[in-house]
């Protein structure tokens, strides 16, 4: 498989999977569905569907297993997540996920997080120290145009190029936008207002 840098340089299409959580109950430990949407650049190609627990600690393993066990695994060039946490504070270990999948992993945010508020919230959960360490392992938050992201598995400049190529308009890559809309529609019967 060619590197992301080479694919971008040659203006080749990218196969991307984006993960987001669906609407969920507030009770800690309740099931949370996650959707993984596969796109070639911005064109919908397929979908994965899995489950984690609210405020659990298994999101990294679940996402890795979903991708590795799918027919899409060998075709995927990059993995996107909507931030570094799903289902409340089920924090994704971004470097561990990139290593497990042998693919660059990019956590995309609409705006830089307020780490002080996040730290306060984490203190109310079991395994505070481990959650905090996992959160900080995601690394530096980069900004390019309107994108805010953390990345493991490729240089930030390459990640920024991927986000531009994977986005129709605005600052949400299509795979993540669809993951949000489809997850919401499956759980509530209609897509949400904001993707």
- Per residue in 164-184, pLDDT (tens digit) is 999 998 889 999 999 999 999
Query: Does a structural domain hold residue 68?
Result: yes
Phi first, then psi: what are they for 45, rounded to 5°? -125, -30
User: Is 191 among the domain residues?
Assistant: no
The pLDDT, as a whole number, for residue 46 is 97
- Please indicate, yes or no, if residue 49 is contained in any of the structural domains: yes
Confidence tier at 195 by pLDDT (50, 70, 90): low
Check pLDDT > 90 for residue 101.
yes
Does residue 164 lie in a domain region?
yes
State the pLDDT at residue 27: 93
Q: What is the structure's pLDDT at 156?
A: 97
Place of tokens 């997540």: 81
Q: Is the pTM of this model over 0.75?
A: yes
Q: Which domain holds residue 181?
A: 4-185
b/e map 76-92, b = 16+ CB within 10 Å: bbbbbbbbbbbbbbbbb
User: What is the average per-residue pLDDT within 54-62?
Assistant: 97
Please state, in angstroms and rounded to a whole number, the distance separating the CA atoms of residues 47 and 39.
9
Residue 195 lies in a domain: no
What CATH number is given to the structural domain containing 155? Answer: 3.30.2170.10
34 in a structural domain? yes
Question: Is 193 a domain residue?
Answer: no
Structural domain total, the chain: 1
pLDDT tens digits along 6-20:
999 999 999 999 999
Q: Is residue 60 part of a domain?
A: yes
């Amino acid at each position: 498989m060619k590197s992301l840098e080479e694919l971008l340089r040659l203006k080749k299409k990218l196969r991307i999977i984006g993960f987001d959580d669906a609407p969920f109950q507030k009770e800690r430990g309740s099931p949370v569905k996650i959707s993984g949407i596969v796109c070639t650049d911005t064109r919908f190609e397929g979908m994965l569907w899995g489950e984690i627990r609210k405020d659990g600690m298994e999101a990294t393993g679940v996402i890795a297993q979903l991708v590795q066990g799918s027919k899409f695994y060998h075709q995927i060039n990059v993995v996107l997540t909507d931030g570094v946490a799903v289902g409340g504070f089920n924090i994704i270990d971004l470097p561990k996920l990139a290593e497990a999948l042998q693919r660059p992993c990019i956590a995309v945010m609409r705006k830089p997080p307020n780490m002080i508020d996040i730290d306060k919230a984490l203190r109310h959960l079991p395994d505070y120290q481990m959650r905090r360490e996992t959160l900080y392992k995601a690394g530096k938050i980069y900004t390019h145009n309107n994108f805010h992201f953390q990345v493991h598995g490729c240089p930030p400049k390459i990640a920024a190029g991927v986000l531009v190529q994977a986005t129709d308009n605005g600052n949400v890559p299509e795979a993540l936008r669809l993951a949000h809309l489809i997850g919401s529609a499956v759980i509530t019967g209609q897509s949400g207002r904001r993707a």
